[in-house]
Structure 1
């Protein structure tokens, strides 16, 4: 009886192992998950049928599960929203498993999502993966009365000279539209330090930051949106109004109730004006213990969920190996003991 039970256990573990191998070896990102910027700008244009429309801006979900899934559900239930713009750091790094998990999440979104590249999105070899999945690192499009410009400052340093020249041309084109929205991941300046434009969680090349702001000042910019800072900040640099929105699920480091909470922003556009609605979500309490606890839980939970089949494969392999060693009178402990004896 004991032999039969052990045999059934081995068969069951091997079955789990085979499924895990299949899941792990199966291509993470399918051919249909390519050139999503082109696909989704077309979908957004189809959704926007008049000069009166609403879109959502959010950022820094960073492989979040609970909070980002809640945001997706809320947006799905909001028929006024026509498309979503993500200000970057959609994944923790460029690992294909993490991109695969993110793509599975946004497939549940019933609105097109347009990305801005963040520093985490291109980390650890993520540049090629981002290019394949989404398309260009910077781009523009127009919808009815508005012009949208998406920039790439994921290096956290600056906008390169080629992109600066491209931006000048795009801003000239934007003059033909009533509203101009600009998006980039890293803020030009850190709004927490911006009295003297001191460096912070913002562009490190201050001369380039000044050049960029001077350029934007020459045009009638409706709003510049950023991510990168995990919170909510609004303000104005000279003539340029800005919003930092980095509250879509990544860890919340700060403890300021005015800024450090999960959220997204609804932007309503019509021919008279543009209005902004802040949508808050449940966030950890504003104390050190709750914030650190939530920080640890976010990454533990996401690591287990995202790497579920790898973890299952590892566990099943270790159990089978243990049973095999037991058959010959060995254990992990006895093998380790022998190994260290031989070393010494």
Structure 2
């Protein structure tokens, strides 16, 4: 049957099909041209960090916040209500996938519940969807550094799970050389060098990549390594370098051992060239609240990657298709009414 015959004999079905096609095209066009939820996030937030005593200050760190909204919101509020904490660092996996709607939902949660600067480390989930390009459009460079007083902060990108590429490795060594005049050098990364749980677990970098980075960290006397990538809490030393793995900001915990698997954030105190790290439990109560309700319209829209405009277009299309169907039904039942 030819296309022209289909349109003539089944005008309603053809109209509905055309509307569906237009909606599908519209969704893609809107996603491409819709404004970003933010730009240069990290650069802007860095400028908002104000430390009265650069040699004595406190900040927070957390990771793996992409599953349980109420835990994440409770944690943000807990950090926000602590007058000692000046800023926070997210160690990645803050979204389910790297699309605009997930980032809109994430940044809305942060803006509504955290009244202090927040810096980000790119995680594995951020590489999904639109991936690195969208992350950079919203947050800025994938790796960067900055000083506060006598402390040098280095943010790495190892989110692909393979380590750092040669270009980033050269940048990292230059940063470590430049920071030798500082008393403290802190490295933040998403994937840890090694999995502290041992075999058969391997949520970490490949052995060769990890060994190369660890050698560099030892050579230039890195003070502490903070990582995520595992939904739990682990501390220790990698050949003399203290590390903390924090992954309790909302993702489903990997086990039920209370010593390692709990919802938490870190409170990190820099004082007199020393680092003190405190794990602070976060409540998972409030599952029926708006932030974690399965009926939360904002969360549903975010998961389905449908924004308000797209939903409005869909409703209009349904109403229009229903009207066309009723008109066509009346026409077929009463052909004389339309032939006079």
TM-score range, shorter chain: 0.7 to 0.9
Counterpart for residue 92 of structure 1: 96
- Contact 2:46 / 2:117 at 8 angstroms: preserved in 1? yes
Counterpart for residue 160 of structure 2: 155
Counterpart for residue 300 of structure 2: 304
- Contact 1:69 / 1:105 at 8 angstroms: preserved in 2? yes
Counterpart for residue 231 of structure 1: 232
- Contact 1:48 / 1:82 at 8 angstroms: preserved in 2? no
CA distance in 2, matches of 1:246, 1:65: 14
Counterpart for residue 202 of structure 1: 204
Unaligned runs of 5+ in 1: 1-20, 285-296, 331-344
Aligned-residue RMSD, C-alpha: 2.8
- Contact 2:74 / 2:284 at 8 angstroms: preserved in 1? no
Aligned match for 1:178, one of 180, 183, 196: 183
Pairing of 1:6-155 with structure 2 (within 5 A) = 27-30=34-37, 33-44=38-49, 46-62=50-66, 64-108=68-112, 109-155=114-160
- Contact 1:63 / 1:102 at 8 angstroms: preserved in 2? no
CA distance in 2, matches of 1:63, 1:99: 14
Relative to structure 1, the CA distance from residue 174 to residue 257 in structure 2 (aligned partners, 3 Å threshold; closer, same or farther) is same
Counterpart for residue 277 of structure 1: 278
Relative to structure 1, the CA distance from residue 300 to residue 227 in structure 2 (aligned partners, 3 Å threshold; closer, same or farther) is farther
Q: TM-score, normalised by structure 2?
A: 0.76
CA distance in 1, matches of 2:58, 2:262: 22
- Contact 2:98 / 2:127 at 8 angstroms: preserved in 1? yes
Unaligned runs of 5+ in 2: 1-26, 286-291, 331-340
Counterpart for residue 267 of structure 1: 268
CA distance in 1, matches of 2:295, 2:229: 21
Relative to structure 1, the CA distance from residue 271 to residue 97 in structure 2 (aligned partners, 3 Å threshold; closer, same or farther) is same
CA distance in 1, matches of 2:179, 2:201: 30
CA distance in 2, matches of 1:123, 1:111: 27
- Contact 1:54 / 1:82 at 8 angstroms: preserved in 2? yes
Aligned length: 290
CA distance in 2, matches of 1:259, 1:299: 28
- Contact 2:99 / 2:130 at 8 angstroms: preserved in 1? yes
Task: String of CA shifts for 1:309-334, please: whole Å, max 9, x gaps.
Answer: 4567646754664565356559xxxx
SS of residue in 2 equivalent to 1:175: helix
CA distance in 2, matches of 1:298, 1:308: 18
SS of residue in 1 equivalent to 2:119: strand
SS of residue in 2 equivalent to 1:53: strand
Counterpart for residue 169 of structure 1: 174
SS of residue in 2 equivalent to 1:100: helix
CA distance in 2, matches of 1:94, 1:238: 35
CA distance in 2, matches of 1:236, 1:133: 34
Counterpart for residue 14 of structure 1: none
SS of residue in 1 equivalent to 2:104: helix
CA distance in 2, matches of 1:92, 1:316: 29
Shift of 1:147: 0.6
